[in-house]
Structure 1
């Protein structure tokens, strides 16, 4: 029997952090919102309390060559805070290369006006959804159920 629950995608920025979540079957990711760095832990706490959250999927900033990018230090700091607030929650890292560009391209295709596309809150939450969807697709391609647990 399938285990129902949600995955939460996180796109860490310098000031703003985008969040997304899956449906209970973990088949599709949808943006939730963008939160200031000082507010995101409270938003995550509410999600964990009110949704069936199984795992956080955090964007991992790699260079085009696949090396760790400059933003790794910032994401590692965020991961430390995440661990403090949610010590029992599983966290996965997902390559986030090009997700912001993909988010802008998706907004263009959806007809979002140029001025609105420049708003970082829209980009961050869309990038979080793309990171999460890539994770779902990766798990499927590896023939692994996203309900499986890893240590």
Structure 2
């Protein structure tokens, strides 16, 4: 089986998480600047197979797209263009950053680590991927 890969997209950073090849465990992979994401993915995919991309869909509380939705749409279009054979799923990402901050706090990390936005983005992508995996039918 190939891995699943999730993205918590931001204009300054993209948090990335992946599953193991059996798609059982989600793990934070990295945080990458948006300008470097395609080169990073091409290098990663030289050694690993990806079955599906899961991209966090930013929404407001009333379920309408948030201001950052246009940037995410551009990112998804870029993924489709660069990797046309990989399926893309969108998943509501509301509360993932708050959940990530709470998880980092609960892990006992020090204050400096808890304020690391790159770590928050990676954990957010991991939470997004876990949510996707929980919704998959087996």
Which category describes the TM-score, using the shorter chain as reference length?
over 0.9
Q: Which residue of 1 aligns with 2:127?
A: 130
The corresponding residue for 2:109 is 112
Matches within 5 A, 1:1-151: 4-139=1-136, 144-145=137-138
Q: Considering only aligned residues, what root-mean-square deviation do their CA atoms show, in Å?
A: 1.1
SS in 2 for 1:26: coil
Q: Structure 2: how far apart are the matches of 1:116 and 1:19?
A: 18
CA distance in 1, matches of 2:2, 2:77: 24
Q: How many residues align?
A: 138
Structure 1 position 98, deviation (Å): 0.4
- Give the TM-score of the pair, scaled to structure 1: 0.87
Give ranges in structure 1 of 5+ residues lacking alignment.
146-151
